[in-house]
Chains A and B, each alone.
Chain A
Amino acid sequence: MSNVAVADAAAPSTAAEPFLIRLGAGFVSRLVIIVPYLWLLFFFLVPFIIVFKISLSQTAIAMPPYTPVLDFSDGVSGFFAGFRDLNFDNYAWLTQDALYFRAYLTSVVIAAVSTVLTLLVGYPIAYGMARAPATIRPTLLMLVILPFWTSFLIRVYAWIGILKPEGLLNQLLLALRIIDQPLVILNTYTAIFIGIVYSYLPFMVLPLYSSLEKMDYSLIEAAKDLGCPPTAAFWKITFPLSLPGVIAGCLLVFIPAVGEFVIPDLLGGSQTLMIGKTLWNEFFANRDWPVSSAVAVILLLLLIVPIVLFQHAQARAQEQDK
């Protein structure tokens, strides 16, 4: 805000013109807030309220396929009377059918395990990049980002040809006589793990790299000089200092992975169970909008804590950059 104060002090108070300009600028600056704010309110927040509303309605054979609840068409009194018609059957249905509970549980477990795997794969890469000669670091960084620019769908699709029973991986292993029966990887949870680690690796490597690159490596030298073994130096110095990157990377992988649809659908086959796929099927195959809304509401409640953590981490990183 300091620039406004400076502008005020500097503005010559001779004519009405600067006042008009200031008024215009004030309007423009308010517009900078108002336009994106209204857009996000209408297209991001309001839709969630609608999802919540529909999750409390009943399935009906109509278009749209649900009975309206909490409608303002009957006026305000009708709106409040509508509270009596609220219907929690969809949520009760979710608790009665063990399928949903298992889908939520497996999704969280799969996302958590894949997050740890991605961290294990990504950390050495980020560390190697951070210690690389400064001249080649920008190139390495671009090489990590480049696959992220190529389509997610394509990268998942590429693994089908590799993992299927007569695929390239099995051909290679059979030719090398490491195995004599093709491995069944496609359409199992293993394939989902591979798919998530592969697709989300850049999201893990980038925050890790940015915190490892800022680190002062003379600390490691000092620890070594004082007789600290390298592994102990890593756990006592490097890892704690890279913790902001670890947290940001893990959240960036974990949260979207819980609701992932493309990877379990293409690599996991019909035998695997994940909540993103369940929601998709509820909606597109069963055309049950109220139940899929209820599934979405519960999924959102499940993710609200990690999402808030992520926002805090982002805000803190932003403060530090200042």
Chain B
Amino acid sequence: MNTTWSRFNITSITLGFAFLYLPIVLLVVFSFNESKLVTVWGGFSTKWYVSLFHNQGLMDAAWVTIRVGLISATVATVLGTMGALALTRYTRFRGRVLFSGMIFAPLVMPDVITGLSLLLLFVAIGMDRGMTTVILAHITFTMCFVAVVVQSRLVSFDRSLEEAAMDLGAPPVKTFFQITLPVILPAIVSGWMLAFTLSLDDLVIASFASGPGATTLPMKIYSQVRLGVTPEINAACTILIAIVTVGVIIASVANKRREVQRQLDERAAQRG
């Protein structure tokens, strides 16, 4: 294996990761800059973090974003998991082509189109724009990502387990909650996390769907960035990056542990 992982491969990976990570690292480093100029180093300081926490506008926006993210990710996970089940378990029902089309198209649909169309819907049905409309919009585009993540797990799922449970007399609903759900749970959890980060991240759809009084963090950051780059924004970004990084690392460690446990269980079951 060592011979096949040539110097060329190592170099391309190193350069690739440098390209991916250097801008983020620089952003984090300059959030600790004493100077107000973002690109000239003036010594170490945490003052931008202090001023960040006194910026009421940013704090309010962060709170709106977190609430929108939690609610929309949870609903999107339920709907997306249902969609994934419908796609993998029911190969034939009326309008299945349209259904799978509506699941896959939002993955690549440009944000400006999704945002505009949802806004026009909200106006057409006479709904006041605010946090609720942002939540509805986020559920719609993130549920498709959840569906794809859960579906990829369901496809490789061993159906004989379910059949065994039902042979033993378990009703389908009970079989789902006792057999299927625990097996696909890791995919559902990563689907939820993906939905949450997508919601946290979205600027364009939220800008269309939102109304006065419901400004999300990306909208706030965007309006400040347009006025110029400030170290305070760097500090806000650093905190977001830190939260996401810690979350992803915890999730992957938990996943690995569950995987190891599962392998041990399987081995024990085979021996017993």
Partners in one complex: yes
Determine if B27 and A143 form an interchain contact, defined as CB atoms under 8 angstroms apart.
Answer: no
Closest 6 CB pairs of A and B: A259-B110, A47-B117, A124-B12, A128-B9, A125-B16, A36-B83
Q: Which of B92, B110, B113 has the most CB of A within 10 A?
A: B110
Interface size class on chain A is 35 or more
Q: Is B250 an interface residue (CB 8 A)?
A: no
Q: How far is the CB of B202 from chain A (nearest CB, A)?
A: 8
B151 cross-chain contacts in A, Cβ below 8 A:
318
- Enumerate A159-185 residues with CB–CB distance to B below 8 Å: 159-162, 164, 166-168, 171
Chain B 39-79 near chain A by CB (<8 Å), digits 1 or 0 = 10000000000000000000000000000000000000001
A-B contact pairs, 30 of them (CB 8 A): A10-B167, A21-B171, A24-B171, A24-B173, A25-B171, A28-B172, A29-B90, A32-B85, A33-B93, A35-B82, A39-B143, A43-B137, A44-B102, A44-B140, A125-B16, A127-B9, A147-B24, A151-B200, A153-B203, A153-B225, A155-B23, A157-B27, A161-B229, A166-B39, A198-B19, A217-B4, A251-B108, A252-B108, A276-B111, A311-B105
Q: Is A103 an interface residue (CB 8 A)?
A: no
Q: A315 to chain B: which residues have CB within 8 Å?
A: 100
A149 an interface residue at 8 Å Cβ cutoff? yes
Q: Which segment of B119-127, B181-189, B261-269 sits at the interface? A: B119-127
Q: How large is the interface on B (under 10, 10 to 19, 20 to 34, 35 or more residues)?
A: 35 or more
A51's partner among B116, B139, B197, B233 (CB-CB below 8 A) is: B116
Once the chains are docked, how many angstroms separate the CA of A262 from the CA of B116?
A: 15
B103 contacts across to A, CB distance below 8 A: 40
Give which listed residue, B26, B98, B140, contacts A43 with CB less than 8 A.
Answer: B140
Find the residue from B27, B139, B156 having the highest chain A CB count within 10 A. B27
User: Are B90 and A276 in touch, CB under 8 angstroms?
Assistant: no
- Tell me whether A305 is interfacial, beta carbon within 8 Å: no
Chain A nearest Cβ from B11, distance in angstroms: 8
Residues of B within 8 A of A134 (CB): 1
Q: A64 within 8 Å of B by Cβ?
A: yes
Segment at the interface with B among A77-85, A87-95, A292-300: A292-300
Task: Name A262's contact: one of B95, B108, B203 (CB within 8 Å).
Answer: B203
Which of B140, B167, B171 lies at the interface centre, i.e. has the most chain A CB atoms within 10 A of its CB? B171
